[in-house]
Amino acid sequence: MAHARPRSRPAARIELGAARARKRLRSAAFPLLQVTGAATVAWVVSRYVLGHPEPFFAPIAAILALSVSIGQRARRAVEMMAGVLIGILVADLVISLLGNGIAQIGFGIGISMTLAVAFGGGMMMVNQAGASAAIVVALGASEAGTERIVDAAVGGAIALLVSQILFPPKPLKVVLPARREALLSLRDGLRDLRGLLDEPDGSHIDWALRTTGRIHDKLAKLAAARLLGAEIARTSPARRREIPVVDRFSEVAVVVDLIANATLTLIRDTVRLVDDGEEPPGWLPEAIAQLGDGLTVLTGDETSGLDPGPGAEACRDSALAAARTAARYGEGTHDWRVRRTAVDVRTVAVDMLRVTGIERREALAMISAEWRGIAPGPATGEMPLEPADPG
């Protein structure tokens, strides 16, 4: 029987590159169609409705306003039109007082961009102010400047119509992927930590720093997605009814931050314990695996925090199981570092309960009940009954 010849490395790379290109094209197809359609309509309106002979800036304005990230288009369209207005007004003033020329072009650009910065504009506003002033002074005709203002307004208005009325993005499609990526980074960190406990030899500081950096990067993206989702819901008339849902998911995202902080503390304390040459407690890998199982469930449950989603109960079971493991085996030791690691596990468990929609006080009570049901009472003096307050 003939066997298929394995593909060469160049062929495999070409196939992988083609697959990535197809994925990028699929994700960008509709936004590109929006930009193309808006630019065409903007040119038609300026040319045939308003009668401008060369309405080149109408499609340019639409392209610029729609070329930024989804959710930022409304703000960018307004900034662009404001920048164009500043640039043209300054350019007209420069032409009327000084005429046109090389020095006047530089003077108009500098003044326009300075005013845009003074008004608190972003890079879109500042750049458009400078570009508009340069073109108008170079042409030396205020009539062109007036038409350019109108063309910019047409392009920006059509961009707003497309992005805010006809095809507004869905806020949760911005927030949910970032939330999932953040949870995946935490799960992967716990999995790697469990693997570290299986092979504790050597220093693990570099690994801990890389893991911490990766988790903080995902958390920063989640924070940006929260703000962007809220902006979409509040600026798009078609999405304002989704504001309560977006606000609730923003609250859930804050709890994901708390899980991350607790997880990073667990990672730091465990690495410190191992690097100090101490024998890792035998119960710790099991507890870490249980926490990781709960996070795995959360990554596939998009309703957690809103409804009792299909993964919420499984996540709660994993969190409570980790707390029981820490209570059963973490208690009764005189090593304060091991006891602190047990508290770290319980703190992560509390925050995992909260991200499934359980209120903080109830989550604390559930974990404390698990702890009291297994661990010795306060007379032992081994550990506090209450988990660390997650805030």
Domain boundary among 143, 166, 189: 166
- State how far the Cα of 141 lies from the Cα of 16, in Å rounded to an integer: 53
Query: What domain range is 140 assigned to?
Result: 29-166
- What residue has token string 């006080």? 361
Inter-residue contact 284 to 197 (CB < 8 Å)? yes
Would you say residue 8 lies in a domain? no
Contacts for 58 with CB less than 8 Å, ≥ 6 apart? 42, 43, 45, 46, 47, 52, 151, 152, 154, 155
Q: Which residue has the higher pLDDT, 229 or 216?
A: 216
Number of C-beta neighbours around residue 366 at 10 A = 18
Read off the DSSP letter of residue 53: S
pTM given for the model = 0.66
Domain boundary among 135, 166, 197: 166
Residues 162, 182: one domain?
no
For residue 6, being part of any structural domain is answered with: no
| pLDDT tens-digit map of 91-111 | 888 888 888 788 888 888 889
Domain containing 238 — which CATH number? 1.20.58
Contact yes or no for 55/99 (Cβ under 8 A):
no
Statement to judge: residues 134 and 41 lie in one domain: yes
pLDDT at residue number 8: 62
Q: Is residue 21 part of a domain?
A: no
pLDDT tens by residue, 14-70: 777 777 777 777 777 777 888 888 889 999 998 899 888 878 778 888 887 776 555
Q: What is the pLDDT of residues 222-247, one digit of tens each?
A: 888 888 787 777 777 777 777 777 77
pLDDT digits 0-9 by tens, 241-292: 777 777 777 777 778 888 888 888 888 888 887 777 777 777 888 888 888 8
Q: What is the mean pLDDT of the chain?
A: 77
Confidence class of residue 302 from pLDDT cuts 50, 70 and 90?
low
Q: Using alpha carbons, select from 350, 355, 362, 340 the residue that is nearest to residue 390.
A: 350
Are 323 and 226 in the same domain? yes
Based on the structure, what is the number of domains in the chain?
2
Per the CB < 8 A criterion, the answer to whether 104 and 60 are in contact is: no
More confident residue, 381 or 368: 368
In a domain, 234, yes or no: yes
Q: Which residue has the higher pLDDT, 185 or 146?
A: 185
Query: What digits encode the pLDDT tens for the residues 101-143?
Result: 888 888 888 899 999 888 887 787 888 888 888 878 877 665 5
- Same domain membership, residue 353 and residue 225: yes
* Distance in angstroms between the alpha carbons of the first and the last residue of the chain: 65
